[in-house]
Chain A
Amino acid sequence: MSHDLRQPDDDDPVIMTVDQRSVWAYLTVVLITSTAYFVVVIPRALSQPIEDVSWIAPMLWAIGASIVGTIVGSIFGSIGGAIGLAIRGIEPKGQLEGDLRDKDIKRLGDRRGALISGGAMFGVLVLAMIGADAFWIGNLVFLAGTVGALVEGVTKILAYRRGF
């Protein structure tokens, strides 16, 4: 099978697999959307009685935006990688698509993140039991999910760069 593209030499720069690019997209997007959410909602919570704070719409927007943003970011990351290789005339196969190592890293990160967010569910249960306002319950879930996502992302990036 002949290509117009060449195999990379050892001194060609090492690029990220699409899985690693997805992690960066995920991390970036979650940071942005959660920051935006808190910037909007915390001032409201500080200036109004808790039951009156309108937090649901901002939260749904934040969650929706992070899902869409991660997908879009991952796609752009993959395309960018493919174009970068094509410009240098390098065959993309064997550098972009994830392999067993990417799966191992994903498992490690997912697990660490899930431990954090899952553990917080217990606190959420307690809040529901004591009849806390929906505001506190919803925001604990959101906070737990955000922290879990950040831990997951950072764990994976460190594993990619430093090994594990």
Chain B
Amino acid sequence: MDFQLRHQGWGLAASLVWFVTYWTLIIVRAATDDVSFTKVAWQHPLLWMLAAGVTIYAAIYAYSYWSTRGAIRTDERDLEIRRRSDAAGAGFTALGAIAALVMLALGVGAFWVAHTIFVASFLGTLASTGQTVAAYMDGFDR
């Protein structure tokens, strides 16, 4: 369980920092490029941030894996907690998808569509990871 708690907990903290960093980048860029917020060139920052995020998460995962060597990393309790927590986040992603479809139908720009999906998925991940960490700390009932 140490392994799961470690990489999920650190992942949660890192993703919050990551999320704030992305928006800071975008806002600063919009200000310095002197364009309206929705017209800012967001594609490259997002791409780089996604790449950075994946790398950081991989590092957290690898560190957690290495520091739990010799112990059982995933037992049935871990699997059960993971199953329960995944459900918490799925709703957000689904909501984001529906909102994206509505936006596409209304002809809203790519900026909004992409960021709706992005934020919705992020909130979903936040919800399920948060639920996972809480389940480890407080336990859960059937």
Contact = CB atoms under 8 A, between A and B. Distances in A.
Q: Do any beta carbons of A and B sit within 8 angstroms of each other in the complex?
A: yes
Interface of A: 56, 59-60, 63, 100, 107-108, 110-111, 114-115, 117-118, 121-122, 124-125, 128-131, 134, 137-138, 141-142, 144-145
B121 A121 contact: yes
A164 to B, nearest CB: 11
Contacts, number: 75
B121 A100 contact: no
12 contacts: A59-B105, A111-B86, A114-B89, A121-B96, A124-B100, A128-B114, A129-B114, A130-B43, A134-B107, A137-B104, A138-B104, A144-B97
Q: Which of A63, A107, A121, A122 has the most CB of B within 10 A?
A: A121
B110 interface: yes
Contacts of B100: 124, 137, 141
Given A115-B86, A118-B89, 5 more contacts: A107-B84, A118-B121, A125-B114, A125-B118, A131-B43
Contacts of B47: 129
Interface in B68-125: 83-84, 86-87, 89-90, 93-94, 96-97, 100-101, 104-105, 107, 110, 113-114, 117-118, 121, 124
A130 B42 CA distance: 11
Nearest to A130: B43
Contacts of B114: 125, 128-129
B46 interface: yes
A129 B110 CA distance: 8
Contact of B101 (A125, A131, A138): A138
B83 A128 contact: no
B99 to A, nearest CB: 10
Given A118-B124, A121-B117, A128 B94 contact: no
B83 A125 contact: no
A100 B142 contact: yes
Nearest to B90: A114
Given A107-B87, A125-B117, A137-B113, A117 B101 contact: no
Contacts of A131: 43, 110
B12 to A, nearest CB: 18
Contact of B43 (A111, A129, A134): A129
